[in-house]
Structure 1
């Protein structure tokens, strides 16, 4: 890790800073000399952020997008605010409506009230008020709420994000260690445009520094489009394992998901099955208008370049297989 630059006297608040994308965003901002207030529900679980910056540079604080008072305290004095909060499934008080539909609007409204002009919100490709998936519907509602409060906000919609600690390749890599076959929901035909977390974080950090044209929704996808099946095949090549890929029709997947979503940490939910019925790729409109990495001046990394750097732990002999893979 690069040594943090001398602090520039500016503060940026990052909601959801302890999450997968947040850690990478905070590292970049710390290297650029910002003080960072990581607004999280449980600050005691955000101690892993401290080594990303100098002593005292990163400050976890308790806040929830469901609580306006806590949001007001978290953004006070900030020159820019980033919202990364999102959930893949509902638990307790963490509901799609409150976290993804209403929460972003609360943060944007507070920024407006406090005179903070720079607001960056991370949504997702597939955000659509007419989607059969509640996840996608609430993502769309959150975008609308943000732009109503702050028309000059920057919104990013990434495709499926990969990198160390991701929830996609790591999950299927772990399954490949345990089971002789992997499921292809809907036959594995859904198209993704997997995007490296470091590239997404760079775009977010640049936007927080006002280096991105505001008032736009950018769609972030990697350099290649791949089907669900092709993604798993690539993963198996990387981890040096051969597993059967078994087609699981959407109807059967929904039935299984009804039981799996009752687990404390669901392996699959009905809502996720509904999401897989639509491709998750950058739209032609975004490409034509350069609301993409190209328009941001960022060249995204490929899966082939990044996956071997963190999936080697799933190889038959773990990281010791790395040299053999390099020779093959």
Structure 2
């Protein structure tokens, strides 16, 4: 293991200067260490790095055969894959950070395993990584968190994400923190996850907190936009120390998304005189259902877990932090344009090649109007609206 990590870089400053006409066969003048590069966001980031000639160091703990298709993403020798790596190998981590310009942390997990707990993945690992970045005075650390990360959250996962952000900011104040909303794309755990949720005879079961007076709003973001945003965050000037919230270009209600996904998959093959019905159930019931999947899928990654249920039923409302526009993403991918490519593999064979002509797109939600309704509801709950009505009406 130690021998495979003995790699050095030239002391010349020529690697800091972009060379070539741009694109795959050029030198982008940057070496980025991508931890978690074999995940959904990491793979997309590597694709964009290869297109722009950015050199990458990609440690991984999976088989070499499972990363062989990553190599054509970049020109020959641009990506350095380090096998048999795990986040407990402090010596390897130090060597990787030492010989990189920018460090990206895409390591994440929504369920604990026999090898790694959620606390170790989301708190201990960012702490060690940010310490090394400070030790070697790295240009930047880009840390991927999650929307809703807060120490006051009801979700233990989001609490750990908030603690991870805190230790990263304390150890390396120049780090850039990204909080993406739910991410959709091929092989995602969002749209494809919905097929595992309970459904029977056209009844779709969606979780609901009985105290919630508003439907759940989702603003999912395309994985391609996240990959480009992370790459831009690696090299954009004057964004050190900032936190960004990354949302998509279209907002929908969760119920409409569920119905839309099942219409595309034609999951139950309903007759013309039948319609799908949304049935609200307690979120705790869906979490118990996800727990059954975790117990059944005790080896490997379960297709559904309790944290995904929590994230799926969390309203995504912008809080005013910088977003995609500030990271240079002007045009974003739309779910309606690529959803068929994502869900086609789960269609019955008779409808596999059918188009979306008969599928009704869900109506997008005006986020500003939704926020106004939330504010008005909060004022009403506090009795302020009633007092105003009595005074002025």
> TM-score per shorter chain, which class?
0.7 to 0.9
Task: Name 1:222's counterpart in structure 2.
Answer: 248
**Residues 133, 272 of structure 1: 8 Å contact kept:** no
Once structures 1 and 2 are overlaid, which stretch shifts more, 182-191 or 42-51? 182-191
Q: Distance in 1 between matches of 2:87 and 2:163?
A: 15
Task: Name 1:294's counterpart in structure 2.
Answer: 325
Matches within 5 A, 1:105-120: 105-120=127-142
Task: Check if 1:68 corresponds to 2:51.
Answer: no
Task: Check if 1:254 corresponds to 2:287.
Answer: yes
User: Normalising by the residue count of structure 2, what TM-score does the alignment of the two structures yield?
Assistant: 0.73
Task: Name 1:196's counterpart in structure 2.
Answer: 222
Q: Distance in 1 between matches of 2:187 and 2:201?
A: 21
The aligned length equals: 321
Deviation at 1:274, TM superposition (A): 4.3
Q: Distance in 2 between matches of 1:279 and 1:110?
A: 35
Deviation at 1:3, TM superposition (A): 6.8
Task: Check if 1:58 corresponds to 2:79.
Answer: yes
Deviation at 1:210, TM superposition (A): 2.7
Superposed CA RMSD = 2.9
**Residues 66, 99 of structure 1: 8 Å contact kept:** no
Deviation at 1:226, TM superposition (A): 2.0
Matches within 5 A, 1:1-328: 4-8=24-28, 10-42=30-62, 44=64, 45-62=66-83, 63-173=85-195, 181-186=203-208, 189-211=215-237, 213-240=239-266, 244-262=277-295, 263-264=297-298, 265-275=301-311, 278-283=314-319, 285-286=320-321, 291-298=322-329, 299-316=331-348, 317=350, 319-322=352-355
Once structures 1 and 2 are overlaid, which stretch shifts more, 253-262 or 116-125? 253-262
1:186-210 superposed Cα distances (whole Å, 9 cap, x missing partner): 2794322100011111110011123
**Residues 212, 296 of structure 1: 8 Å contact kept:** no
Deviation at 1:247, TM superposition (A): 2.5
- Cα pair distance change 1:278/1:240, threshold 3 Å: closer
Deviation at 1:21, TM superposition (A): 0.5
SS at match of 1:304: helix
Where does the alignment leave 5 or more consecutive residues of structure 2 unmatched? Answer: 1-21, 271-275, 362-393
Larger radius of gyration: 2
User: Normalising by the residue count of structure 1, what TM-score does the alignment of the two structures yield?
Assistant: 0.87
**Residues 122, 164 of structure 2: 8 Å contact kept:** yes
Deviation at 1:78, TM superposition (A): 0.8
Where does the alignment leave 5 or more consecutive residues of structure 1 unmatched? Answer: none
